[in-house]
Structure 1
Amino acid sequence: MAQSATQKLAALLAAGWDSGIAFGDLPPELVPTDIEAAYAVQDHFLHQRHVTIGGWKVGAKSPDAPIRCAPLPKACLQESGSTCSRPASRPLALELEIAFCFGRDFAPRAALYSDEEVLGSIARMGAAIEVVISRYREWPEVPPTAQLADLLNHGALVVGETVPYQGDFPFVTPNPSFTFEGHGVINGAALNPAGDPRQLLPRLVNHATQRGIALPAGTVVTTGSYTGMHFPGDAGVASGHIPGLPPVSVTLV
């Protein structure tokens, strides 16, 4: 992907965060050619928007698959019970996830952080609802690398009250419930495709720090959906509950 195309896509996506849309149709010449090109667009986007990173999202399609991750603007992190505006004429989706908070800083360094260093630093955990919104009008029919460039279609992360980290928590099968206006909306089996989401955390920390991005103590990392994506057709209240964690909710208006 040429540097000029990287910068142009980043600029259009950055503008899309203000106007709500970046494209009528995504020009093929702007689609990132690979994952690294998509991450380069993310970097340019952060620079152009002067974004303060408040958290990260990370996921994988299977336990052994490569991760996909994106920084989350601090302004997009919200508390449970908050209100989110639905975008006009564009789809919006909701996902129920588990988010973790680190109890130490991770500074950029030449050496990779070990699994033990990262997993031993988990301080808190909580249920979270990600609001998924794209800057592409044609989403979800958008190439995966273009979605990755758009911070993996991030709209907002609503984080419930967190509790001290529980190493014996049933992360693989937490038996969540997820409702919209009181109706169950879990699509398929309530499982994270990555398996135990904690195994994503060391890979995320090393992704960020090897790119020169620090993760300060308290950084929130959400780790992929247990419930698939739910596309609500109207305004209403989404509520998620994962046994052992405080509930989380968001109101769409």
Structure 2
Amino acid sequence: MTMLTQQLADARADHTTLASLSPELIPADMGAAYAIQHELLAMRGARIGGWKIGAKSAEGAIQGAPLPSTDLHADGARLPRAHYTPLGLELEIAFRFGRHFEPSANAYHEVEVLDAIDSMAATIEIVASRFAQWPNVDKLAQLADLQNHGALIVGEFTKYRRDFPFVAPALGFTFEGQDVVKATPSNPCGDPRRLLTWLVNHCTQHHRIAVTPDMIVTTGSYTGMFFPQHAGTARGQIDGLAPVSVTLE
């Protein structure tokens, strides 16, 4: 276990932030950052309830993080604002698979992964950091911090549709009734389904972890990031999916 793992675990447990990050604690590479992610969950005794994955462009590199099951909440959850800093909100689409992907000697192919998608749902991710200087923090340190994950609120799942307009769905996202979408909704990765094969092979090839039907895989924001300045309720509606909401108290 690294010193950074311990500091991040303590900050998560106490809902605090680290005033500074010593250069010698920065993960040496992505492999080290991913190792810290799993150390964090092990320290908390938390099982993997899902994953967050994303990319900054349609051809960009993909990154991800495991989500502790304790950080997953049902639609309508009420959560304390003070537990999340800086508290950004994102409206996303999540998927679940209809089969297990077990660790294997060979990588899984995209067709096999996409054929296994079973259901999808709207989600709201609460973005939070354990670093007081966020976003001006080393990217590998942010990756180690579960890629700035705070919590995930999950709407009701519906059956997967291949013809769903994943690149640019019609949607609405409000906070206390006010529209908070400031640009044309889109996911920077393009079609978020392209992320799923990476996730399956990241888990089964590199970490020897099975991907199971109960895991919720959320795939990046369509709405940028909104930072509420007071308590209230955020509501997301993606056409064709059940609505999702969270109240910050």
**Same structural fold, with TM-score higher than 0.5 when normalized by the shorter chain:** yes
Runs of 4+ in 1 over 6 A off after TM superposition: none
Instruction: Work out the CA distance in 2 between the residues paired with 1:118 and 1:235.
Output: 40
Corresponding pairs, count: 248
Instruction: Work out the CA distance in 2 between the residues paired with 1:50 and 1:90.
Output: 23
Match of 2:32 in 1: 37
Contact conserved, 1:187 with 1:229, CA < 8 A, in 2?
no
Instruction: Work out the CA distance in 2 between the residues paired with 1:107 and 1:171.
Output: 27
Mapping 1:1-253, distance limit 5 Å? 7-87=2-82, 90-210=85-205, 211-253=207-249
Residues 20-59 of structure 1: CA deviation (Å, up to 9, x unaligned)? 1251111121112322221121122222222200000000
Match of 1:3 in 2: none
Question: What amino acid is aligned across from residue 39 of structure 1 in structure 2?
Answer: Y
Distance 1:8 1:237, change over 3 A: same
> In the TM superposition, what is the alpha-carbon distance from 1:11 to its structure 2 partner?
1.2
Instruction: Work out the CA distance in 1 between the residues paired with 2:41 and 2:168.
Output: 35
> In the TM superposition, what is the alpha-carbon distance from 1:179 to its structure 2 partner?
0.5
Contact conserved, 1:187 with 1:230, CA < 8 A, in 2?
no
> In the TM superposition, what is the alpha-carbon distance from 1:74 to its structure 2 partner?
0.5
TM-score after normalising by structure 2: 0.96
Instruction: Work out the CA distance in 2 between the residues paired with 1:28 and 1:187.
Output: 36
214-223 vs 39-48, which moves further: 39-48
Residues 127-159 of structure 1: CA deviation (Å, up to 9, x unaligned)? 000011111122222111111000011111101
TM-score after normalising by structure 1: 0.94
Instruction: Work out the CA distance in 2 between the residues paired with 1:79 and 1:17.
Output: 21
165-174 vs 45-54, which moves further: 45-54
Contact conserved, 1:197 with 1:223, CA < 8 A, in 2?
yes
Contact conserved, 1:10 with 1:41, CA < 8 A, in 2?
yes
Instruction: Work out the CA distance in 2 between the residues paired with 1:70 and 1:90.
Output: 18
Instruction: Work out the CA distance in 2 between the residues paired with 1:48 and 1:17.
Output: 11
Distance 1:145 1:215, change over 3 A: same
Contact conserved, 2:17 with 2:129, CA < 8 A, in 1?
no
- Percent of matched pairs sharing the same residue: 52
Distance 1:50 1:88, change over 3 A: closer
Gaps of 5+ in 1: 1-5
Question: What amino acid is aligned across from residue 244 of structure 2 in structure 1?
Answer: V
Gaps of 5+ in 2: none
Contact conserved, 1:10 with 1:44, CA < 8 A, in 2?
yes
Instruction: Work out the CA distance in 1 between the residues paired with 2:83 and 2:230.
Output: 11
Question: What amino acid is aligned across from residue 231 of structure 2 in structure 1?
Answer: A
Q: Secondary structure at the match of 2:119?
A: strand
